């Protein structure tokens, strides 16, 4: 990707005319908080999956045979 800036304020730019104004009006503090909380909950869910997998791997008995040595 080049370092050149893209002119997002070009006449007829879909983003400038539609998307940016929509988010400026719709993106309240409450909305921001909801999306932040959703990201946190998603990460907690991923952590739970990983923790469960670690616990499953830790429950398996070690392989091999114990031999008593006198």
pLDDT digits (tens, 9 = 90+) for 1-53: 445 555 656 678 888 888 888 888 888 999 889 999 999 999 999 999 999 99
1 domain residue, yes or no: no
- Residue 70: CB atoms within 10 A of its CB come to 2
Residue 37 domain boundaries: 28-58
pLDDT at 1: 46
Overall number of domains in the chain: 1
Q: Is 16 exposed, middle or buried (0-12, 13-18, 19+ CB in 10 A)?
A: middle
Q: How far apart are the first and last CA of the chain?
A: 69
53 domain residue, yes or no: yes
- Kindly indicate the confidence band of residue 69, based on its pLDDT and cuts at 50, 70 and 90: confident
pLDDT at 26: 85
d(CA 12, CA 18): 10
65 domain residue, yes or no: no
33 domain residue, yes or no: yes
3-state secondary structure at position 6: coil
d(CA 45, CA 36): 14
């Amino acid at each position: 990707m080049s370092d050149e800036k893209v002119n997002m304020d070009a006449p007829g730019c879909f983003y400038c005319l539609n998307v940016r104004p929509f988010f400026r009006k719709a993106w309240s503090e409450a909305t921001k908080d909801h999306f932040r909380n959703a990201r946190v909950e998603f990460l907690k869910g991923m952590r739970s999956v990983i923790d469960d997998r670690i616990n499953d791997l830790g429950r398996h008995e070690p392989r091999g045979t114990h031999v008593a040595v006198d």
